[in-house]
Structure 1
Amino acid sequence: MNPSPLSRRDIFKLVAAASAAGALAPVGAEPPKPLTRHFKNTLSDPDYAHPSIPWDKPLDATELATLAVLVDLILPADETSPAASAIGVHEFLNEWVGAPYPENRADYETIRGGVAWINTHAWKHHGKAFKEIAPEEQTAILDSICDPAKALPELSHGARFFQKLRMLTLGGYYTHPATWKSLGYIGNTPINGPYPGVPDEIIKLLGLEGLEGL
């Protein structure tokens, strides 16, 4: 993905802090063993003049292809924003789950295990991998796991995976400049002429009518 004004480390911490979903492991199970990482250089804040990621990206091409389909089902293209895969959200996920922080390592287990689960589920019901079945079949699978409170007990692992995937996808997507327009964020846009003041609808929303000149 293209560099963002936000630090990758800041994004990691913000999204990880917002996560309330658990990993795929059943309650009471032993936690997964920490991943082994071999770093070529010391972790530090990113150098945008020479961008690089100082950790491995652990997901393979097949897993990334499945994630590309999944993120596009979560956030397809519309009139104001690109599809999630078009701006590399699946690659962002690969970068995220390789990061050497406890929350990210837990997400690695959830995402990799979830991709395996959804492909197994697709093979069981349709005889093909998830990315190869028809769009309506893909959507039907996601509909069955999109709400953990309503998912059948045998789909509980898939539901926890999709809950985590959806949260991470949203985080990766809306921290990319290509999607800011859909949020109504215009950034540092120059204004031609005098400052026009706070819009009337904002003043009305805040209940500050009649106080503009104070």
Structure 2
Amino acid sequence: MDRRTSLQWMLAAASAPLGDSALAAAAARKPAVGYGTDPNLIKTYRPGELWPLTFNAIQRRTAAALCALIIPADEHSPSAADLEVHRFIDEWVSAPYPRHRKDRQLIVHGLGWLEREARRRFGKSFAGSREAQQRLICDDICWAARAAPRLAEAARFFARYRDLTAGGFYTTPEGTKDLRFVGNTPSLTFDGPPSEVLQIVGVA
């Protein structure tokens, strides 16, 4: 329901007694066209419960392999694929909002390009290729300014996918810990900013 319709309902309810024909007429109007109701923010939704997911099995494997390549596991945290960031990206591109629909087209086409390129170069799927082979492909598109003109669209895909991977990874508990972010954590004391920070901003 849009803002205008909401205000109309509120004004009708405030200005008419219960059961008045004006309120009944407002309630009988055709619902506003939109994305549906807001989700219940205290409920845990299963993948695909809010809207149908986009990736097929091949695309999911390719997406997971690319997530692992962009943010691999290290001594501090698991990889983006280990944290199933590719599932977050699938949810993202499946959402029915304009920006997400635009990303869906870019991401799906980009994953298809990776798969075709891996099979053309190495005779294997992207997920089934060795990490060094995956890197050879991604090195050609990871920097848009240096990508060949024929790879401009693939480079645009990689840049967006990299942003989504980082966004998904660093909003998980493990990714937040990897950033050493300590916000939203209860503390009994507050010692103030470190002296090094105060010196940087010129107030120490």
Q: Above 0.5 in TM-score? A: yes
Report the counterpart of residue 135 of structure 2 in structure 1.
139
Report the counterpart of residue 184 of structure 2 in structure 1.
188
Give unmatched runs, 5+ long, in structure 2. 1-34
Distance 1:205 1:112 in 2: 44
Tell me if the contact between 1:174 and 1:180 (Cα under 8 Å) persists in the aligned partners.
yes
Q: Where does 1:1-214 land on structure 2 (aligned, <5 Å)?
A: 42-52=36-46, 53-191=49-187, 194-209=189-204
Tell me if the contact between 1:71 and 1:84 (Cα under 8 Å) persists in the aligned partners.
yes
Offset of 1:70 from its aligned partner? 0.2
Offset of 1:88 from its aligned partner? 1.2
User: TM-score by structure 2 length?
Assistant: 0.76
Report the residue type matching 2:196 in the other structure: E
Q: SS of the residue aligned with 2:127?
A: helix
Report the residue type matching 1:116 in the other structure: G
Report the residue type matching 2:179 in the other structure: L
Distance 2:44 2:68 in 1: 30
CA separation of 1:46/1:201 partners in 2, compared to 1, >3 Å: closer, same or farther?
Answer: farther
User: TM-score by structure 1 length?
Assistant: 0.73
1:133-171 Cα offsets, whole Å, 9 max, x none, are: 121111011011111111112222221211111111111
Higher relative contact order (CA 8 A, sep 6+): 1
CA separation of 1:50/1:182 partners in 2, compared to 1, >3 Å: closer, same or farther?
Answer: closer
Q: SS of the residue aligned with 1:130?
A: coil
The size of the alignment, in residue pairs, is 168
Report the residue type matching 1:70 in the other structure: L
Report the residue type matching 1:141 in the other structure: I
CA separation of 1:201/1:104 partners in 2, compared to 1, >3 Å: closer, same or farther?
Answer: same
Distance 1:168 1:148 in 2: 17
Which deviates the most, 42-51 or 69-78?
Answer: 42-51
Give unmatched runs, 5+ long, in structure 1. 1-40, 210-214
Structural RMSD (CA): 1.8
